[in-house]
Chains A and B, each alone.
Chain A
Amino acid sequence: MNILYMLIPLGLVLLGVAIWAFMWAVRSGQFDDLEGPAHRILMDDDEPKQPDTPLQNKDK
């Protein structure tokens, strides 16, 4: 069981890393919008591949 004396401190280091990662995520705005990205992924923009985009450049 002596291995625990090494593994648990190692676990603590990992805990520290996890908390640091969390802090980073909060700081970089990952938690600002919890609903939008889930929908955004489904609405990927595949327009350019579609052959018929009739009036696309009207306002350019």
Chain B
Amino acid sequence: MTEPESTCFHCSLPVPGDIDYAVEIDGKSRPMCCPGCQAVAQAIINNGLADFYKYRTESNKSSASLIPDELINLDLYDNPVIQQNFVHAIDADVKQASLILEGIVCAACVWLSEHHVEKLPGVIHFQVNYSTHRAQLEWDERRIKLSQILKAIGDIGYLAHPLDPNRQEQIFKKERSQAIRRIAVAGLGAMQVMMLAVALYAGEYEGMDANLQRFLRWVSLFITTPVLLYSARPFFVAAIRDLKMRGLGMDVPVVLAISGAFIASAWATITNTGEIYFDSVTMFTFFLLSGRFLEMSARQRAGRAAEELVKLIPAMATKLNGSDQQVVAVSELSCGDVIIVKPGESIPTDSIVVRGSSSIDESLLTGESMPVVYHKNDRVIAGSVNIENVLELKVEALGADTVLASIQRLLERAQTEKPKLAVLADKVASYFVFALLMVAVIVGSYWWWADPQQAFWIVISVLVVTCPCALSLATPTALTAAMGQLTKLGMLTTRGHALETLAKVSHVVFDKTGTLTEGRLVLSKTAIFADKSEQQCLQIASSIEQFSEHPIGKCLLHSYAGNELFSVNDVENEAGKGMRGVINNTLYFIGNADHIRSQVSYDLNDSTFKEYQVVLADQKQVLAGFKFTDKIRASAVQTIQQLNALNIKTIILSGDQQTNVDQVANQLQVTEAYAGLTPDKKLEKLTEIQQQGAIVAMVGDGINDAPVLSKAQVSIAMGQGTQLAQASADMILLSENLQHIVTSINVGRSTRAIIRQNLTWALGYNLVALPLAAIGWVAPWMAAIGMSASSLIVVLNALRLTVPDNSSDGNS
């Protein structure tokens, strides 16, 4: 590879030096890194949307890999049976659907996609929500088809797929709008009551007409009542649920404090004695609701990201009825049916090959990086991808009997065995709450006996002063702040405990293919054995391989930087072995060494070619050898170094062959590496490590990693990994930058420090204030001020986590 000379104008990736894709934008020729980016940029310019490049604030995602694979099956979305799931008919011809848009990086993307799609004839309405990356589409069925619109979006470099709006989105929307309403009522109410409270405090000093004072108190009561009944309702509901489960969560003392203070104040208002605390009640409700709203937003964001993975990919299969081909849903298949799987399609269910042979990519299931060739009577597994030739398969197992389903069961089992750290935290909280209530009861009964008139107010003071709001805010605020910070980096936290656990991690276990490596082969070495240049050999090889769907062929073609390919005659392809073809009257062979040996008359020296997966030869001699390796991620080396520096052990658990794993392990200097592991062997190995007392963070991407991911104490799935892996992970690395794992561990550690400081402060404050309140030295209004101040300190301390330089030094 040549040194990169410039960066792609579209996606900002380096442009390899010997490549010339350019698009004229704003009167200048701009370099592009790949045909994908070129096509996208050209489509943008051709539609008169060049302003996009002025507006945008982030680089686009590379278009190289995105477009071809994902857009193959778009036509299926026009099928009315499939459309039932996500299309809503407004009238006979006008249809409406929600779409998920992938690839949106900044507001200019929204502008671009909206303008591009709204220009299409037949599109009535198209609006993108920038916060959620969801779009609303309305179109006229007579003038344009859904697949055409999706394709048009694909043309400008975004990936759109339909979303079932009934599933999650509606629940999210309802939750959100209800939370905003509650906050609005609490916030507006709190402001009003505060205003009145200021007047009342001033009245205490300056003297106030008794009637007016009474009037103001009644008004405060009037405003606070809806805040308590409507805004604070979630706390009541949660507290009642806790009590029903015979547990004591944080909501119980919150409810006791709010309702206690409210009842006391209401009593004071009605009988016109004592103090009122309506201002504390409303402010406290407002603060707590705001905190929970932030928490909910983070949770919904994670949920949406997860939903993007569950694409509504139609599970269809082509069934063979005699000579008829019929597209049916996978659920309608039965054992013994014969189905056809074309190259590029995934195999719908476990089955046996009855006709044809082809290479099949099983990397998602087994972690094996190279496709495996299957012939007649071989068994193929659901979820793997057919690469080369058309296959006729006989269905052998369906649904729960498939290998995929058995991995899923393994996953469920591992999930139930997951260490329950969160439960422990809850337990501690419930003891604390129980202790608080006991103290309140003891103090109350003492004062009831000693001075019944004071008793009520002292109990209220005790409850307010010990109200664990600082305590209940201590952990969630720190976690919310840290999660927000990590989300900005492209590290999505889907389960709350992840950060706390990450701080304590002693081992990081990696999968190899797709995690430490990019999961894509690249040409790493070319050897020339004849009187031809490297470029010439590549040109010949690429010319033949353009007729192949095999990943190595595609990769060879991609490595060939020139534009001209020879015209090839009499191309023949033998699945998984190699190809032959005639160029300028010369017959060339390309394939593995065994294939060449079987084709040519001369002798091939075994040791010379062993290293090369692909050999190019003509009828007289061997021309060249090509070696391919799965490229190690650029960020992997440094990540492992930094983890070693943090004294964290690094381990590889891979399903791939020993030699491939060893090579990566040596290059990265990981502590231990294990190869050739099936999903259940991986699980065993992990359990073994955990039994030695290790706290393990697992990083993986494939279906075969899913059970291990859920068994590890904390797990991280790659953003481009499979849905199943992401569903079982606690965090999702959307940025694909492994270094963010180190950053996350650092953020996790500082989060833990902040949580400790917060808890120490909150507990310390409570311990100091409690005796004072119990003796009767603290009037309830002082308690309320102390409580608010202590909560504020906790929140401000947590916000320190959002300052980026705080924790991520040395790895940005």
Cβ distance B185 to chain A, nearest Cβ, rounded Å:
6
Contact B48 A47 (CB under 8 A): yes
Beyond A4-B212, A39-B107, A43-B107, whether A15 also contacts B188 by CB under 8 A is: yes
Interface of chain A residues 3 through 17 with chain B (CB within 8 A):
4-5, 8-9, 11-12, 15
Query: SS class of chain A's interface: helix, strand, loop or mixed?
Result: helix
Contact B185 A19 (CB under 8 A): yes
Stretch of B129-137, B241-249, B677-685 contacting A (4+ beta carbons < 8 Å): B129-137
Please, which residues of chain B bring their CB within 8 A of the CB of A5? 212, 215
Contact B46 A55 (CB under 8 A): yes
Query: SS class of chain B's interface: helix, strand, loop or mixed?
Result: helix
Interface of chain A residues 23 through 60 with chain B (CB within 8 A):
23, 26-27, 31-36, 39-40, 42-43, 45, 47, 53-56, 58-60
Beyond A4-B212, A19-B184, A26-B177, whether A33 also contacts B129 by CB under 8 A is: yes
Please, which residues of chain B bring their CB within 8 A of the CB of A31? 176-177, 180
Cβ distance A11 to chain B, nearest Cβ, rounded Å:
7
- Does B55 count as interface, using CB distance less than 8 angstroms? yes
Across the interface, name the chain A residue whose C-beta is closest to B155.
A59
Question: CA A31 – CA B185 in complex, angstroms?
Answer: 15
- Does B629 count as interface, using CB distance less than 8 angstroms? no
Question: CA A12 – CA B196 in complex, angstroms?
Answer: 12
Contact A42 B55 (CB under 8 A): yes
Contact A19 B188 (CB under 8 A): yes
Question: CA A9 – CA B130 in complex, angstroms?
Answer: 41
Question: CA A26 – CA B174 in complex, angstroms?
Answer: 10
Out of B47, B130, B215, name the residue touching A33 (CB < 8 Å). Answer: B130
Question: CA A60 – CA B51 in complex, angstroms?
Answer: 19
Contact B223 A23 (CB under 8 A): no
Contact B120 A59 (CB under 8 A): yes
Please, which residues of chain A bring their CB within 8 A of the CB of B595? none
Contact B212 A36 (CB under 8 A): no
Contact A15 B180 (CB under 8 A): no
Total number of residue pairs linking A and B with CB closer than 8 Å: 88
- Does B311 count as interface, using CB distance less than 8 angstroms? no
Residues 166-185 of chain B: 1 if any A CB is under 8 Å from the residue's CB, otherwise 0?
00000001001100110011
Interface size class of B (residues with CB under 8 A): 35 or more
- Does B222 count as interface, using CB distance less than 8 angstroms? yes
Residues of A within 8 Å of B, CB-based: how many?
33
Please, which residues of chain B bring their CB within 8 A of the CB of A19? 184-185, 188
- Does B115 count as interface, using CB distance less than 8 angstroms? yes
Contact B209 A1 (CB under 8 A): yes
Contact B181 A22 (CB under 8 A): yes
Cβ distance A35 to chain B, nearest Cβ, rounded Å:
5
Contact B48 A36 (CB under 8 A): no
Beyond A12-B219, A54-B48, A58-B47, whether A43 also contacts B177 by CB under 8 A is: no
Please, which residues of chain A bring their CB within 8 A of the CB of B110? 36, 39-40
Please, which residues of chain A bring their CB within 8 A of the CB of B121? 60
Please, which residues of chain B bring their CB within 8 A of the CB of A32? 129, 131, 173
Most chain B CB inside 10 Å of its own CB: which residue of A26, A34, A59: A59
Cβ distance A2 to chain B, nearest Cβ, rounded Å:
9
Cβ distance A60 to chain B, nearest Cβ, rounded Å:
7
Across the interface, name the chain B residue whose C-beta is closest to A42.
B55
Cβ distance B794 to chain A, nearest Cβ, rounded Å:
26
Question: CA A47 – CA B112 in complex, angstroms?
Answer: 13
Across the interface, name the chain B residue whose C-beta is closest to A4.
B212
Residues 34-68 of chain B: 1 if any A CB is under 8 Å from the residue's CB, otherwise 0?
00000000000111100100010000000000000
Please, which residues of chain B bring their CB within 8 A of the CB of A33? 129-132
Contact B188 A18 (CB under 8 A): yes
Question: CA A20 – CA B45 in complex, angstroms?
Answer: 46
Please, which residues of chain B bring their CB within 8 A of the CB of A11? 192
Cβ distance B215 to chain A, nearest Cβ, rounded Å:
7
Out of A12, A35, A45, A53, name the residue touching B223 (CB < 8 Å). Answer: A12
Most chain A CB inside 10 Å of its own CB: which residue of B184, B189, B212: B184
Out of B131, B176, B180, B189, name the residue touching A36 (CB < 8 Å). Answer: B131
Contact A59 B216 (CB under 8 A): no
Please, which residues of chain B bring their CB within 8 A of the CB of A26? 177, 180-181, 184
Question: CA A10 – CA B714 in complex, angstroms?
Answer: 56
Beyond A43-B55, A43-B108, whether A53 also contacts B215 by CB under 8 A is: no
- Does B537 count as interface, using CB distance less than 8 angstroms? no
Question: CA A31 – CA B115 in complex, angstroms?
Answer: 23
Please, which residues of chain B bring their CB within 8 A of the CB of A34? 131
Out of B115, B120, B173, B216, name the residue touching A8 (CB < 8 Å). Answer: B216
Please, which residues of chain B bring their CB within 8 A of the CB of A4? 212, 215
Beyond A54-B48, A56-B47, A56-B48, whether A39 also contacts B188 by CB under 8 A is: no
Please, which residues of chain A bring their CB within 8 A of the CB of B184? 19, 22-23, 26
Across the interface, name the chain B residue whose C-beta is closest to A9.
B219
Question: CA A21 – CA B181 in complex, angstroms?
Answer: 11
- Does B287 count as interface, using CB distance less than 8 angstroms? no
Cβ distance B416 to chain A, nearest Cβ, rounded Å:
37
- Does B111 count as interface, using CB distance less than 8 angstroms? yes
Please, which residues of chain B bring their CB within 8 A of the CB of A8? 196, 215-216, 219
Out of A12, A36, A39, A60, name the residue touching B129 (CB < 8 Å). Answer: A36
Out of A18, A27, A40, A56, name the residue touching B107 (CB < 8 Å). Answer: A40
Interface of chain B residues 239 through 288 with chain A (CB within 8 A):
none
Beyond A22-B184, A22-B188, whether A12 also contacts B45 by CB under 8 A is: no
Cβ distance B124 to chain A, nearest Cβ, rounded Å:
16
Question: CA A11 – CA B132 in complex, angstroms?
Answer: 37
Cβ distance A37 to chain B, nearest Cβ, rounded Å:
8
Across the interface, name the chain B residue whose C-beta is closest to A2.
B212
Please, which residues of chain A bring their CB within 8 A of the CB of B355? none
Interface of chain B residues 102 through 132 with chain A (CB within 8 A):
106-108, 110-111, 115, 119-121, 128-132
Cβ distance A21 to chain B, nearest Cβ, rounded Å:
9
Please, which residues of chain B bring their CB within 8 A of the CB of A42? 55
Interface of chain B residues 218 through 244 with chain A (CB within 8 A):
219, 222-223
Contact A45 B115 (CB under 8 A): yes
Across the interface, name the chain B residue whose C-beta is closest to A18.
B188
Beyond A33-B129, A42-B55, whether A15 also contacts B209 by CB under 8 A is: no
Across the interface, name the chain B residue whose C-beta is closest to A31.
B180
Beyond A35-B131, A58-B47, whether A23 also contacts B108 by CB under 8 A is: no
22 CB-based A-B contacts, threshold 8 Å = A4-B212, A4-B215, A5-B212, A8-B215, A12-B223, A15-B188, A15-B192, A15-B223, A22-B188, A26-B177, A26-B184, A32-B173, A33-B131, A34-B131, A39-B106, A39-B107, A43-B55, A47-B51, A55-B46, A55-B48, A56-B48, A59-B47
18 additional A-B pairs beyond A40-B107, A43-B55, beta carbons within 8 Å, are A8-B215, A8-B219, A12-B192, A12-B223, A23-B184, A26-B177, A26-B180, A32-B131, A36-B128, A39-B108, A39-B111, A43-B107, A43-B108, A56-B47, A56-B48, A58-B46, A59-B47, A59-B120
Give me the interface of A with B, judged by CB distance under 8 Å. 1, 4-5, 8-9, 11-12, 15, 18-19, 22-23, 26-27, 31-36, 39-40, 42-43, 45, 47, 53-56, 58-60
Give me the interface of B with A, judged by CB distance under 8 Å. 45-48, 51, 55, 106-108, 110-111, 115, 119-121, 128-132, 173, 176-177, 180-181, 184-185, 188-189, 192, 196, 209, 212, 215-216, 219, 222-223
3 closest cross-chain pairs (CB), A and B: A39-B107, A36-B130, A56-B48
